[in-house]
Amino acid sequence: MTDDAIRCDACPVLCYIKPGRTGSCDRYGNHEGKLVRLDPHVVLDRALQRGASVVPFLERGRDWDGTLINHSEVSHGETFVTAIGAGTTYPDYKPAPFIISSQVEGVDMVTVVTEGIFSYCGVKVKIDTDRHLGPECSTVRAQGEAVGHVTTSEYGSQMLSLGGVRHLTGGGRKAGTATCDALLNLCNGKAVELKIDDRARVVVQAGKPPIVDGVQEERMRVGCGSATIGMFAKQWFGKVDDVVVVDDHITGVLSEHQAGKLLGVPETGIKLKGRRSTPGRYFQVAEPGTSWGGTDIDDPLTILGKFNAKKAWPGLRLLMVSTTGEHYAYFELNEDLKPREKELPADLRESVARIKENCEPALCTVLFMGGAGGSLRAGVTENPVKLTHSVRDALTRVTCGGAPVYVWPGGGITFMADVSRMPQNAFGYVPTPALVAPIEFTLRLEDYAALGGYVEQVRPLSSIAAKDESRRRLAAHTDNPWPLESGVKAKKG
């Protein structure tokens, strides 16, 4: 080490940093011989939602610094200190970087703030599409490296499980780096291209439509084929003799379905390939794919057998449609009882449009999932298990960059957060590799003292200068509950 280099202790890498340079994570640097955090520390402000006055910039003239809110009128209860840019507790025995006191509705509160280094972390990705991305357990790759797998699909969505400690640290340096890079970009709201082995290539970005094999998805399905029959049976009654809603999971047939029976739709002699479940509901009519209803068929007639001549009749009207209304075709039977495609009648166009109207826009949802381990909890209290019990007893509220989280039942503090409800660029990384994610614990001061917290490290909110260039004030997400207020209500309730 050269005489003018300093050693960073923010993570296990322990970089030596020369003046004017940054460490491997690009988050810490050597500034005139001092180790400094380069990204600004984010503070959330709820002042606009509570009627605080706006700065009269015409009166401020040339001295106006661009601040919109008159912070002299903002109480402590309107400001929440997040962990974004706060720094870490590494080497883990030291208290969290910020332990901030504030008063809310006459109650003394404490928020313990730290950026956790998460090796045990990943993301769950919900992709709204009925197109088949790949079989369950198929490997998902980024930059050619395995970063996760396809998991069980949900209603109208395909699900991916990405990251985790085995992909971050168990697959070699190149695989770990690719995994960390994919997780970081996804959590920070950036687009990531993923390839499922032998199947689809998909571009995923939180809050944006997925792009499957170069085609942007527009809508998720209205329901399975059977559900679609139930929803729109009345709108088809009298306008068409039979309807088949093609779906990879459950294909519905109007004339056999209970909805059709109750409406008095006569039998049509139609025959479907696949495995019949209950009347009007068929499984496995085709292989999974990216075409009609998430199947591999381009011609819907391939799932039909011969019509029963004793029940069918020439001129029988048949509508075949997918669960998104994206694919549809209209047929009439000729004298040989074979379907011939015709132009879709105007009164049926309305019903196809209604299916599309009832489909939600297709989006990608990215949920960060991490486990707050013993070392991270040691930054809150010398007896980490007490923090776990406090979270379980709803005395401590957990947030991630000020956003609400879901804490899983069972041992430890394993939580999930929707990254789209967090401030932009809330996540960082260290090249171990691991993700750096914000986490905040908010509770009453008396409860913090009871769990053995570092009470001597508590400092008032006023100790954080409002105009400090190392801090960035952001407006709180309007859809998020206010962390401080919720903590008070949880105790009172």
**Per-residue pLDDT tens over the stretch 324-336:** 999 999 999 999 9
- Final residue of a structural domain among 220, 243, 270: 220
Q: Look up the domain containing 401 and give its range.
A: 39-119+373-492
Percent of the chain with pLDDT over 90: 73
Does the structure show a pLDDT above 60 at 69? no
Q: Are residues 242 and 301 in the same domain?
A: yes
Does the structure show a pLDDT above 60 at 461? yes
pTM: 0.87
- Final residue of a structural domain among 220, 235, 253: 220
Task: Report pLDDT for 38.
Answer: 81
Residue 266, preceding bond cis, omega within 30 degrees? no
Task: Report pLDDT for 60.
Answer: 44
Q: Identify the sign of the CA torsion 160, 162, 165, 169.
A: positive
Q: Are residues 385 and 480 in the same domain?
A: yes
Q: Are residues 88 and 189 in the same domain?
A: no
Q: Are residues 108 and 149 in the same domain?
A: no
Position 3 in a domain: no
Question: Which of left, alpha, beta for 327 (phi over 0: left; psi -120 to 50: alpha)?
Answer: beta
Residues 6 or more apart whose Cβ sits within 8 Å of residue 278: none
- Final residue of a structural domain among 322, 357, 392: 357
Q: Give 452's strand partners.
A: none
Q: Are residues 79 and 152 in the same domain?
A: no
Quick one: pLDDT band at residue 76, thresholds 50, 70, 90? low
Phi, psi of 449 (to 5 degrees): -65, -40
**Residue type, position 230, single letter:** G
Phi, psi of 16 (to 5 degrees): -95, 125
DSSP string, 147-197: EEEEEEEETTEEEEEEE-HHHHHSS-HHHHHHHHHHHHHHHTT--EEEEET
Phi, psi of 167 (to 5 degrees): -80, -35
Position 232 in a domain: yes
Could you list the beta-strand ranges (E) of 445-487.
459-460, 471-475
Percent of the chain with pLDDT over 70: 91
Structure tokens at 160: 């991916």
Three-state DSSP at 361 gives: strand
* Residues 2-29: tens digit of each pLDDT: 678 988 888 888 899 999 899 888 888 8
Quick one: pLDDT band at residue 73, thresholds 50, 70, 90? very low
Q: Are residues 391 and 418 in the same domain?
A: yes
Max mean pLDDT among 14-28, 56-70, 247-261 falls in 247-261
Q: Work out the average pLDDT over 150-173.
A: 93
Dist CA 2 CA 22 (whole Å): 15
Quick one: pLDDT band at residue 489, thresholds 50, 70, 90? low
Does the structure show a pLDDT above 50 at 70? no
Dist CA 298 CA 302 (whole Å): 9
Mean of pLDDT over the chain:
90
Note whether 134 and 225 are within 8 A (CB).
no
Dist CA 201 CA 212 (whole Å): 6
Dist CA 165 CA 163 (whole Å): 7
Dist CA 205 CA 216 (whole Å): 12
Instruction: Tell me how many degrees the CA angle 465-442-47 measures, rounded to the nearest 5.
Output: 50
Task: Report pLDDT for 90.
Answer: 79
DSSP 8-state code for residue 131: S
Dist CA 234 CA 283 (whole Å): 24
Dist CA 85 CA 435 (whole Å): 13
* Residues 169-188: tens digit of each pLDDT: 988 899 999 999 999 999 99
Q: Are residues 264 and 337 in the same domain?
A: yes
The count of structural domains within the chain is 3
The 10 Å Cβ neighbour count of residue 338 is: 12
Position 94 in a domain: yes
Q: Work out the average pLDDT over 451-479.
A: 85
Position 283 in a domain: yes
Q: Are residues 113 and 126 in the same domain?
A: no
Note whether 114 and 96 are within 8 A (CB).
yes
Q: Are residues 333 and 268 in the same domain?
A: yes
Residues 6 or more apart whose Cβ sits within 8 Å of residue 165: 119, 120, 121
Note whether 179 and 167 are within 8 A (CB).
yes
Does the structure show a pLDDT above 50 at 472? yes
DSSP 8-state code for residue 224: -
Weakest mean pLDDT among 41-45, 86-90, 178-182, 286-290: 86-90
Position 26 in a domain: no
Q: Are residues 345 and 438 in the same domain?
A: no
Does the structure show a pLDDT above 70 at 58? no
Position 27 in a domain: no
Position 246 in a domain: yes
Position 282 in a domain: yes
Dist CA 84 CA 428 (whole Å): 9
Q: Work out the average pLDDT over 137-160.
A: 96
Instruction: Tell me how many degrees the CA angle 121-124-127 measures, rounded to the nearest 5.
Output: 155
Q: Are residues 236 and 353 in the same domain?
A: yes
Quick one: pLDDT band at residue 423, thresholds 50, 70, 90? very high
Residues 6 or more apart whose Cβ sits within 8 Å of residue 472: 40, 41, 42, 43, 85
Note whether 364 and 159 are within 8 A (CB).
no
